[in-house]
Structure 1
Amino acid sequence: MTKTKNINGTVWRSTGSWYEVKDEFGRDYDCRLKGKFKIKGLKVTNPLAVGDYVVFDEENADEKTGIITEIKPRENYIIRKSVHKTGHGHLLACNIDQAIMVVTLVMPRTSLGFIDRFLVSSESFRIPAVLLFNKRDLLDEEAMEYQEEIMALYEKLGYPCYSISALHETNLESVHQLIENKTSLISGHSGVGKSQLISTLIPDLELATSEVSTFANKGVHTTTFAEMFEAKPNSYIIDSPGIKELGLIDMENEEIAHYFPEMRELLGECKFHNCLHVNEPKCAVKDAVINGEIAESRFNSYLSMLENIDNRR
């Protein structure tokens, strides 16, 4: 039997060494990489990620297996710091239309620093980012007021925010509209309700969900590998494993302010053209923080990112 060569496909699931690839006709193949792929200028522990466009050769037509021979150029990607290899990143997803972060202010609490790192990662590739504030059913009046303040902060910066309860299916109409005709990465800490949300958006799925550990108020991992699902025709969701830490990869100190929209607006207004907005005199960004035009939490996130880059060096 003749083996078909040079088949175009998209990676739908990654388990580390094997990849589920769909060809142009929606047929599933279990594929592995041919040899070692190194992406020029990118130090990653996984050369291939869900959403990647690939070319593969059929290995066994009956068993629907193949060998990936080419990774096509990426439009964009979201990356986190590798937990296994120092100085390396781990690709979460590639070729996406938007990055959606599921945030919770209780059980577990998502820090503003974590949110800001996610937004900076998205900004660096001009990927539109959205924040879903889940578990609104667990918030008392005071906590709801705080959530509204945080949502107002990010919406002012241009990031759409939604207050939802995936468990009780509250305000999910907006999320259905949000994902229509797009490929969306859904990410966040473990335990924030990603699997619950996806199962609600795609009722036929049976994703494992897990309660949050009350001992440490941290989520229990339920998604082991990244995987793409079809919510409706031409609407795709990529479910990523819960992220403990988002490190910025291959970013220089001078770049980071460009990925904060409120700082980007002030570029060129500091006394020094190479101002890092830390100790320099006549800094427009620091003045904006003092005047309340830039949120202190955002400025602290910025300083933390600078410090992490310096420590990495």
Structure 2
Amino acid sequence: MAEEKRGIVWRSTGSWYTVRDEKGDFFACRLKGKFKIKGLKVTNPIAVGDKVLFHLEPGSDENGVIHDILARENYIIRKSVHKTAHGHLLACNIDQAILIVTLTFPRTSLGFIDRFLVSSESFRIPTVLLFNKCDLLDEEVAQIQDEYMNLYSALGYPSLSISALQGINLDAVRSIMEGKTSLISGHSGVGKSALVNTLIPHLDLATSAVSTFANKGVHTTTFAEMHEMNANTFLIDSPGIKELGLVDMSEEEVAHYFPEMRDLIGACRFHNCKHVNEPNCAVKEAVLEGQIAQSRYFSYLSILENVDNRR
């Protein structure tokens, strides 16, 4: 019987996984049979960041077979693009998520930001917002960005204005990432690969200019991969997300993943208030009084509607 090894999934290309063992050596591994995670319907049973047990194939020093996935601390998941009833794991066992957003070339919607935050909140994963391409903003858009940053910072999501290409505020980014495993995510074209290249220059990841047609980004990262910044700092670069469909969430849960609404749960007239049409709703009153941003409330309604339609 081959020696059992323990490692972390470093790279996922679909059918093969690069796994780094506890000594720091890398192996190309495949799955043993079909894995099914109890209570979780996913298109990819293993994701970057997963801790796995594997053994080498007979006669090989480089190829292995994964036969067990160790318990996950957390994960970020989205609805599968190809199988609507399934989810797709973006990363597992992370210390924080870093969402890169841009208000120009391409523009990240507040709805997308809020959906990502709800997904990370569902596992209590701390999230940082990096507003990239600050060097391209005119005075009006820069003011809008400041308003957004103030909104999310007040909700407990650190927000930072940066330029990956110009090197603006990247020392602060390094400080945020130090000693942690971070997932870097966002739309295609927001500058994920450019940021990773600046933080870890020797990688030289492919980057692409944003198409001016429809102002949409071009996919340059085609699979998720972990990179090492230093001995105790790691980042996971993920493919660009066009849309972020939420999975494994009930109507009753959604408000709990909005911090400003979570603080008001129990203050409504009805204990099962959905904060939509019910009278004497503390959440709706907070929106009218400006204590909850309208954009956040509209995001809540949109997510609630999608969850209800899925049912």
TM-score (norm 2): 0.99
State the Cα deviation string for residues 28-61 of structure 1 (Å, max 9, x = none): 0000000000000001000000000000011156
The answer to whether structure 1 residue 257 and structure 2 residue 286 are counterparts is no
> What's the counterpart of residue 16 of structure 2?
18
How do residues 62-211 of structure 1 correspond to structure 2 at under 5 angstroms? 62-211=60-209
Q: Distance in 2 between matches of 1:202 and 1:223?
A: 15
Q: Distance in 1 between matches of 2:146 and 2:9?
A: 38
> What's the counterpart of residue 241 of structure 1?
239
- May I ask how many residue pairs the two structures share in their alignment? 311
2:265 aligned to 264, 267, 287, which one? 267
> What's the counterpart of residue 222 of structure 2?
224
Q: Please give the secondary structure, in 1, of the residue aligned with 2:201.
A: coil
Q: Distance in 1 between matches of 2:274 and 2:43?
A: 31
> What's the counterpart of residue 36 of structure 1?
34
The answer to whether structure 1 residue 307 and structure 2 residue 305 are counterparts is yes
1:289 aligned to 270, 287, 290, which one? 287
State the Cα deviation string for residues 155-191 of structure 1 (Å, max 9, x = none): 0001000000001111101001011010000000000
List alignment gaps of at least 5 residues for structure 1: none
State the Cα deviation string for residues 92-143 of structure 1 (Å, max 9, x = none): 0000000000000000000000000000001000000000000001101111
State the Cα deviation string for residues 219-270 of structure 1 (Å, max 9, x = none): 0000000000001111000000000111110100000000000000001000
State the Cα deviation string for residues 268-311 of structure 1 (Å, max 9, x = none): 00000000000000000000000000000000000000111112
Q: Distance in 1 between matches of 2:109 and 2:79?
A: 17
Q: Distance in 2 between matches of 1:140 and 1:283?
A: 40
List alignment gaps of at least 5 residues for structure 2: none
TM-score (norm 1): 0.98
Give structure 1 regions of 4+ aligned residues with deviation exceeding 3 angstroms. Answer: 60-63
